[in-house]
Amino acid sequence: MKNRILLENYYLPDDLEAQIDTPTRILTIADIFQALCQERPYRDRFCANEVLSIMDGMADKGQIDLKIYNLLKVNVDEFYKTAIWEG
């Protein structure tokens, strides 16, 4: 996970966390969501409910921006279809 920007002190000091702008926070959540939705050589893709469960845990720990994550949750079905599309 060292290539992901997570919003907790384990990954970023407080002063840097406050400097992360909204577009970066949105892209971070989108990147994590897409990575969990897609099949990887070492695992199958997760279903939408599994993805939300994992990301709920991240939101509860303050690792991702809760306001932005809640916007994703409202439209999770559409985002999931887009994330798994292999066109």
- The residue extents of the domains of the chain are 14-84
Specify whether the CB–CB gap between 58 and 15 falls below 8 A: no
Other CB atoms closer than 10 Å to residue 83's CB: what's the count? 18
Structure token digits, residue 67:
């306001």
The pLDDT of residue 2 is above 90: no
Gap between the Cα atoms of 20 and 39, Å rounded: 29
Gap between the Cα atoms of 8 and 50, Å rounded: 22
The pTM (predicted TM-score) of the whole model is 0.79
What is the pLDDT at residue 21? Answer: 87
Q: Which residue carries 């599309």 as its tokens?
A: 85
For the stretch 26-57, pLDDT in tens is: 999 999 999 999 999 999 999 999 999 999 99
What's the chain's average pLDDT?
85
